[in-house]
A and B are shown apart, each in its own frame.
Chain A
Amino acid sequence: MSNETERPALFTPKSSFPAVPAVVRGVPQGSQFAGLYARELLRTFRNPWVLVITVVQPFMWLAFFGSSFANVPLPNLEALLHIHIQSYLQFLLPGVLSTSMLTVGMFGAMSTIQDKRFGYMKRILLTPTSKTTVYLSKALGSATRGLVQIPVMIVAALAFGVHLEGDPLMWAGWLLSLVFLALGFSCLFLAVTASSTDWQTPGVISNFLMMPLMFASGALFPAANFPSWMATIANWNPVTYAALFGRGVVVNGTANWLYLGYVGIFAGVMMLSGTLVARRYLRVE
């Protein structure tokens, strides 16, 4: 055993111990949410690749998917899509935006699993921060990440020469429907992965949800062409309603506010039930 009394001083403080107290408590509850939300966004957008992909991906969607029917005469396309349009991209834009909100929850789920694995979740939960606050900040954080695509995609569409209808109120409603969709799917993802610590889980769930919810919706093709079983899924799929609402606005200049209400209810139910799940099942490590 070493002789402790003779050990040299290896750490010589430069200043004296800080005086107590210099700190005030009792900032509102929102401070924890604000801190966690800011952390999510900073972590995401400080990575230059995230920014690049966020900007490039919408262009690729419009360039590749949007050119798939380039050589089809417009009347044939209109017959197929059951709608009077000026270009296929005009039809596609609201649908692509809706489907891209499907996967945003994956980022929040991955960031949560990373926090569990590196122990940061312990650091958060060893302060007076509730699991509900953690859950909601993650959900809003990943939803925000998805929403950044919206202005980029709209600018991209305009750059491709797409004509968009609608007045400001309708556009606000359209954006709100996408916010609801992003929030709803973020909450769903985070609730499903609340007890997971496996990196692979969000990817697996994303793949599992992606196909049925993307294609069994009115987002990319009209449900009128579907077999009845697929049309049934599409009728319950919130992606359908955000897409139909957006399409009504940008193609016809009309808004079916019921659709917005439906997507709003979806977001509310997901947020509420997800919070209950997270409070009980959110794992610490």
Chain B
Amino acid sequence: MTDLAIEADGLTKVYGSLTAVDHIHLEVPAGTIFGLLGPNGAGKTTVIKVLTGLSDLTSGEARVAGYDVRRHPMQVKQRIGWVAAEVILDDDFSAWENLWLQAKFQRLSGWQGRAKELLAYFSLEDRQKDKVSTFSTGMRKKLEIALALLHEPQVIFMDEPTIGLDPATRRMLWELITGVNREYGITIFLTSHYIEEADALCSLVGIIDQGRIVALGSPADLKAKVRADFIEIETREAVDEGRLRAVPGVQEVRLQGTTWVLRVTRAEEVLPRLFDTLTPDLIGRINVEKPSLESAYMDLTGKRIDQAGTEGRDYRKFYATVRRARQ
């Protein structure tokens, strides 16, 4: 037996003319929290769909919890849990009934004791008879994680677990995720476009851009790879690129919308020279990025993660619409 929870080799998924996932190679050791980091539309959700057997893969191979996702999808599905980005529960049913349905789908018996313990752990036991439609988003998230844990999975897939949540709920979830991983030794595969989330939670991070994994390593490894600082400048008037390039210490100049992104040796040395070249009244906004997961991402893809990819959906609005539609 292997102690890899997830293995993928040449994993490819093509939708029509769009290659959503392009020859991905991945090895996630059992017991780690793996974060797949990338902008909207980079292919994160598709990777989850293919690894969980929800979508067929176009080519390549993948094994999850020791089973080939193509040949033994049911074996894989018995061993994985899933937490959706948009919180998918049966709103017309109570928390307990949602657990009961999950137990039926997973063909469990004697699950009631564990369900009670999970509800107690997530502080939901007082509300177990209430309809899920009356729950707050944080409670719904917690119930969804309880559902994912009910059948003792080896791997839990979490698609953007904290998207659209307020900071306090997000932190609570971070603690839950690390707790579940630590106490149960469950491998967690999560996707995120929040750099700080990957930094706080993950021991292994893959950066995905346009369907390809462009970097793989621990957050510390990825930061160490970036031996440069980034300076972002917005100017009040148009500035000639040559003028910026001429400043000693500037390695690379890129224009991202209205912002100049300079890759520099050391920001501390370059900044004074920059102020000499550009008079202070010309500078609208300036930002320095020291080596971080964010600067690693900028270095690899040339964009900030929250700017990249397709237009981000307004998730608060999205949740509100879904809620209304359900009522």
CA distance A4 to B195 in the complex (A): 13
Please tell me if the beta carbons of A118 and B107 are within 8 angstroms of each other in the complex. Answer: no
Please tell me if the beta carbons of A23 and B82 are within 8 angstroms of each other in the complex. Answer: no
Please tell me if the beta carbons of A27 and B108 are within 8 angstroms of each other in the complex. Answer: yes
CA distance A20 to B111 in the complex (A): 11
Verify if B270 is at the interface (C-beta below 8 Å from A). Answer: no
Task: List CB contacts (< 8 Å) of A26-45 with chain B.
Answer: 26-29, 31-32, 34-36, 39, 42-43
A9 partner residues in chain B, CB cutoff 8 A: 175
Stretch binding the partner chain, chosen from A56-64, A126-134, A244-252:
A126-134
Please tell me if the beta carbons of B90 and A20 are within 8 angstroms of each other in the complex. Answer: no
Verify if A13 is at the interface (C-beta below 8 Å from B). Answer: yes
Q: Choose among A7, A22, A32 the residue that contacts B110 (Cβ–Cβ < 8 A).
A: A22
B152 partner residues in chain A, CB cutoff 8 A: 20-21, 23
Interface string of A127-144 (1 = CB under 8 A from B): 111100000000000000
Stretch binding the partner chain, chosen from B7-15, B112-120, B225-233, B276-284:
B112-120
Please tell me if the beta carbons of A32 and B175 are within 8 angstroms of each other in the complex. Answer: no
Please tell me if the beta carbons of A23 and B151 are within 8 angstroms of each other in the complex. Answer: yes
CA distance A130 to B77 in the complex (A): 11
CA distance A118 to B93 in the complex (A): 14
Verify if A125 is at the interface (C-beta below 8 Å from B). Answer: yes
B179 partner residues in chain A, CB cutoff 8 A: 13, 17
A127 partner residues in chain B, CB cutoff 8 A: 77-78, 102, 105-106
B114 partner residues in chain A, CB cutoff 8 A: 18, 21-23
Please tell me if the beta carbons of B183 and A1 are within 8 angstroms of each other in the complex. Answer: no
Task: State the total of A-B contacts with C-beta under 8 angstroms.
Answer: 136
Interface size class of A (residues with CB under 8 A): 35 or more
Please tell me if the beta carbons of A7 and B171 are within 8 angstroms of each other in the complex. Answer: yes
Please tell me if the beta carbons of A17 and B183 are within 8 angstroms of each other in the complex. Answer: yes
A1 and B292 contact, Cβ closer than 8 Å, known pairs A125-B54, A126-B80:
yes
A140 shortest CB reach to chain B, Å: 15
Interface of A: prevailing SS: loop
Interface residues in B, total, Cβ within 8 A: 57
B265 shortest CB reach to chain A, Å: 22
Verify if A11 is at the interface (C-beta below 8 Å from B). Answer: yes
CA distance A4 to B199 in the complex (A): 9
Interface string of A94-130 (1 = CB under 8 A from B): 0000000000000000000000011110111111111
Verify if A10 is at the interface (C-beta below 8 Å from B). Answer: yes
CA distance A1 to B195 in the complex (A): 9
A122 and B294 contact, Cβ closer than 8 Å, known pairs A10-B172, A22-B114, A23-B151:
no
Please tell me if the beta carbons of B88 and A119 are within 8 angstroms of each other in the complex. Answer: yes
Q: Choose among B88, B104, B292 the residue that contacts A120 (Cβ–Cβ < 8 A).
A: B88
Verify if B255 is at the interface (C-beta below 8 Å from A). Answer: no
Please tell me if the beta carbons of B101 and A39 are within 8 angstroms of each other in the complex. Answer: yes
Verify if A15 is at the interface (C-beta below 8 Å from B). Answer: yes
Please tell me if the beta carbons of B107 and A23 are within 8 angstroms of each other in the complex. Answer: no
Counting chain A CB atoms within 10 Å of each CB, the highest count among B88, B117, B292, B326 belongs to B88
Task: List CB contacts (< 8 Å) of B296-327 with chain A.
Answer: 322, 325-326
| Closest residue on chain B to residue A39 by CB atoms | B101
Verify if A24 is at the interface (C-beta below 8 Å from B). Answer: yes
Counting chain B CB atoms within 10 Å of each CB, the highest count among A1, A19, A36 belongs to A1
Verify if A76 is at the interface (C-beta below 8 Å from B). Answer: no
| Closest residue on chain B to residue A119 by CB atoms | B88
A2 and B196 contact, Cβ closer than 8 Å, known pairs A15-B121, A46-B92:
yes
Please tell me if the beta carbons of B101 and A10 are within 8 angstroms of each other in the complex. Answer: no
Please tell me if the beta carbons of A42 and B93 are within 8 angstroms of each other in the complex. Answer: yes
Please tell me if the beta carbons of A17 and B184 are within 8 angstroms of each other in the complex. Answer: yes
| Closest residue on chain A to residue B79 by CB atoms | A128
A43 shortest CB reach to chain B, Å: 6
Verify if B200 is at the interface (C-beta below 8 Å from A). Answer: yes
Please tell me if the beta carbons of B88 and A4 are within 8 angstroms of each other in the complex. Answer: no
| Closest residue on chain B to residue A35 by CB atoms | B104
Please tell me if the beta carbons of B78 and A123 are within 8 angstroms of each other in the complex. Answer: no
Please tell me if the beta carbons of A11 and B78 are within 8 angstroms of each other in the complex. Answer: no
| Closest residue on chain B to residue A17 by CB atoms | B183
Interface string of B194-236 (1 = CB under 8 A from A): 0110011000000000000000000000000000000000000
Verify if A282 is at the interface (C-beta below 8 Å from B). Answer: no
B213 shortest CB reach to chain A, Å: 23
Task: List CB contacts (< 8 Å) of B33-89 with chain A.
Answer: 52-55, 74-75, 77-78, 80, 82, 84, 86, 88-89
Verify if A284 is at the interface (C-beta below 8 Å from B). Answer: yes
Nearest 9 interchain pairs by C-beta: A35-B104, A18-B117, A127-B105, A11-B172, A119-B88, A22-B114, A17-B183, A128-B74, A27-B107
Interchain residue pairs with CB less than 8 A apart (30) = A1-B292, A4-B200, A9-B175, A11-B176, A15-B117, A17-B121, A17-B179, A18-B117, A20-B152, A22-B114, A23-B109, A23-B110, A23-B111, A23-B151, A24-B109, A25-B107, A25-B151, A28-B107, A29-B107, A31-B107, A39-B90, A43-B90, A43-B92, A119-B86, A122-B88, A126-B82, A128-B74, A128-B106, A128-B107, A284-B54
- Contacts A122-B54, A127-B106 given; 15 further ones with Cβ under 8 A? A1-B292, A14-B121, A17-B179, A21-B114, A22-B113, A23-B151, A27-B107, A35-B100, A35-B104, A118-B322, A118-B325, A122-B84, A126-B77, A128-B77, A128-B105
